[in-house]
Structures are given as C-alpha cells and as structure tokens.
Amino acid sequence: MFRWLRRPISSEIKGKLESVLQSQYWTEEEIRKYQWTKLQELVRHAFQCVPYYRNLFNSIGATPDEIKNFEDFSRVPVLTKSDIQNSLETLTTTGIDRQRLSLNSTGGSTGMPLNFYQDVNYKHWSDAARIRAWRHVVGADENDLEAVLWGATKDIGQGLSFRKVLYSVLREGLLPLNTFDLDDSLLKKYLSYFNIIKPKILRGYASSLYYVALYVEKRALPIHRPKSIISSTEVLHARMRETIERVFGCPVFDSYGCREVSQIATECEAHNGLHVVFENQYVELDGQDIIVTNLHNYAMPFIRYKVGDLASSLDTSPCKCGRVSPRIVSLIGRDNDNIELPSGKVINGEFFEFLFFGLSSVIQYQVVYHKAIDRLRVKLHVSGSTENAGEIVQKTMREKFDYENVDVLYSDQFDMTPSGKLRFVYQVD
C-alpha cells in the first residue's frame, strides 16, 4: 500500500542486507574464519588508535600480535559499564571527526546510564541485521507494514493523532504507540487503527505485548491477526509468549539487543534459542554473564563488553532451521514490571531507562512502586550534585502522569532479590 511513498533503504544498507541474508547459512568454519579476521582487525585498530585500549594492553603486557586465537582473546579484560562511564574520551578513536558520529545513550536497562559514539558503518550493519531478523526471518519484507508498541520517545515520538498515524504509515511503514504513556482511551484508539490498517508485523516490549494481549482478551475485543509478532528489550517469559500467541493467533519471535551494540541475537522459525548475529557480534559467556564484542564500531570499540544481562548457556549445535550460528538458550536478565497507578495509567518498566537518557550524573538506579500505600520510591546513585536528578524524576512523573507521590533517595546500596538478583523496576503490594 503506497510503497512508493516510503523512505527508501540506502544502497549501503541494501548491500549489507544482501550479505547477511546469504551469510546466515554459512558453515561453522566460515563463521569462525570471518569472526577471527574481524576480531584481529578490530584489536589492531584499538591498540593503535584508541588510548583506552592502548593503555589496557600495555597494563597487561600484551600486544595484538600475541593474541593468536579465540582462547587468547578471552583473556583480554572485560569492558564494564563503569569503564564506559569514566572513559568516554579515551574510548573514542583519536583524531576522528565527532561531528560525523552519532552520540547515543541509554538510561540503562541494567541500571547504569551510558553515553557512547557510533559510526555510520556500524549503523548500516546494525540496520541490515534488524531488517533480516524483524522482516525476512519472520515471513515479511522491508516493505510490509509494522505496528510498534515501543517506549523511547526519541525513536517513535509521542501522541496518536490522525496526522501522525498517516505520516508514520505512509512514510515509515509503521503504526507506532508510545507505551510509556498509556491509558484506556489511547489503547482503544490504537487498536482501532490496528484493525483498520492490518499490519503484517507487530513488534514491541515483551511486557507491552503481554499487557495489550490481556487487555484484548479480558474485553473479548476483535483483533487483527498479524503474520508474526516480535518481542524485544525485556525477558519474554513462557506465560507471556503463550498468552500473546493465543490472543493474536500467530507466532512470537524473541529478539535480544541493546543500544550499546545493537541486535545481539534473534529467534528463528524453529524457536529453539536466539541465534547470535555473528556478522556484527562476537558473543561469549563468562559463567552466565553475556560478553559482547561489536565487530564494526571503530569510532568507539566495545571489546569484550559485559552487557549486564545473563544467559543460561550458549548452544553451538546445529539448529533445525539450517543455521549453525551459536544460540543463546535462555535469557535471565532484564525483568522489569509494569507499574499500574490508581488513575489507570500504566508505566512500562522500561520508561525509567529512557528517563535517564543522557543524564550522566546517574550511575545506577532502582524504582519500586509500593501499591498498598501508593508511593513510588526512586533510589539513585549519583556523582556530583543530587538535586538535578531528583527534580527531573519528580517533574517528569508530575507532568507526564499527573503523579505526585514520588520519594527520591540517594544511595549506592540497592535491594536484592532472595536469589541475589538486582531488579531495577518493580512493584510490591
């Protein structure tokens, strides 16, 4: 429908898309050869052009030439979120024109906000991998309409006016809904557009998809059945998948990534774990900690980056789908609750990640909604002045949700679950 109005895919992305559509069926030997070549090139660049890594290699008495295989590479010290917070300048390639880079940021789904640079080549490879996973693997293509339940205002904006819907559908091929500002009337309006436009793909946060599925089911609403649904950003639990598939009558494909390195692993049609996007990422497990090296961002290399998420194992056996790339078997991290206010407003757990976009003073956070007493308690570990961060939280909650019962506490001590896991957004009765 009106495909001639759509924003075209650039020739650079199109070329890389053709490449990853072929490489997804490479042999194990071809994959390892490709990744080792990319790792060698990246490590040499980092040693020669990035002060942080030059200092790191000097501190351990090693040079790139001494890293001769994957086992040697695994001994390179990991890059932590704290390292990135403290080393934006020294992690950036010397002499690079920063005006040509994208300064990206994350509020930290693992509780620690970050800022980082990404170059154009990185973005092209990331876009190609997303199109493959979110369109081709799930039975669609880049021209098909997609409905999106997302929360990052910088990605999809706010509101649901007819003008915005018309522009998004005709120009971007998207029907977006910002789930960080959700109420009954807005959701009903969105679902009416959804049923009229009939998008082929539905994509969103796991918790948002689950919430909408329960909403539709509870009210016995008629709903368009898309070809496929893509769950992203949060852990997709078995009960959530079963409910979403039952209500919408189509399969759910899980997807895992983060802003720091883009898409890391995606589910195939066999639904047997998440295939690592090996063309862009080299993934290791240190115990259950996911360690990622992005192969294309030479502006600010992330080498052996500890993402902050956990996985049960990495499966290297061939998949029934015909691909032999390693698969992340089960993601454990990223478990945020939706918060339901007495007003009926629903705050998606990921909202607070984006609230702290670019707020460099916030080192870590934890948000707990106490339902019985109707109070939101936000605990912040900050550097420097504490006033600005707290004021931003309270002002945002007041303006966006008309909610005043917000306590801001400053501490570097956070509450843990009985299993020792740190949850960043949740509610208690």
Q: What is the arithmetic mean of pLDDT over 326-351?
A: 78
| Residue 191, Cβ density class (10 Å: 0-12 exposed, 13-18 middle, ≥19 buried) | buried
Beta bridge pairs of residue 366: 379
Cβ proximity of 281 and 264 under 8 Å: yes
What's 99's DSSP letter?
A: G
Element (H, E) at 407: strand 406-410
18-22, 176-180, 316-320, 367-371: least confidently modelled range: 176-180
* pLDDT at residue 278 is higher than 80: yes
User: 225: number of CA atoms within 13 Å, CB side?
Assistant: 7
* pLDDT higher than threshold 60 for residue 155: no
Predicted local confidence at residue 366, as pLDDT: 85
pLDDT cut 90: percent of the chain above it:
62
Strand 425-428 relative to strand 362-370: parallel, antiparallel, unpaired? parallel
- Which amino acid, residue 213? A
pLDDT in tens, 389-417: 888 889 999 998 999 999 999 987 777 55
pLDDT tens string 213-246: 989 998 999 999 999 999 988 778 787 899 999 9
Q: How far apart are CA 414 and CA 396, in angstroms?
A: 23
> Is 424 in contact with 366 (CB distance < 8 Å)?
yes
Q: Which amino acid is it at 356?
A: F
Alpha-carbon distance 427 to 429, whole Å? Answer: 7
Q: What's the length of the chain?
A: 429
Does the pLDDT of residue 293 top 60, yes or no? Answer: yes
Distance between CA 238 and CA 290 in Å, rounded? 21
Q: How far apart are CA 149 and CA 67, in angstroms?
A: 44
Instruction: Flag whether pLDDT at 420 surpasses 50.
Output: no
Confidence at 418, pLDDT banded by 50, 70, 90:
very low
How do beta strands 327-328 and 274-276 pair?
antiparallel
pTM of the shown model: 0.78
Instruction: Tell me the pLDDT band of 192, cut-offs 50, 70 and 90.
Output: very high
Q: Is the pLDDT of residue 381 over 90?
A: no
Give the tokens for residue 238. Answer: 């078995």
Q: What is the mean pLDDT of residues 306-315?
A: 89
pLDDT over threshold 50, residue 419: no
352 vs 33, higher pLDDT: 33
pLDDT at site 73: 97
CA distances from 335 to 234, 300, 310, 414 (A): 6, 28, 11, 16
Cα→Cα distances 98→4, 118, 125, 354, Å: 34, 10, 19, 23
Query: Distance between alpha carbon 316 and the CA centroid of its chain, in Å?
Result: 23
Which domains are delineated in the chain? Answer: 339-428 (3.30.300.30)
Residue 150's DSSP bridge partners are 178
* pLDDT score of 109: 52
Model pLDDT, residue 326: 97
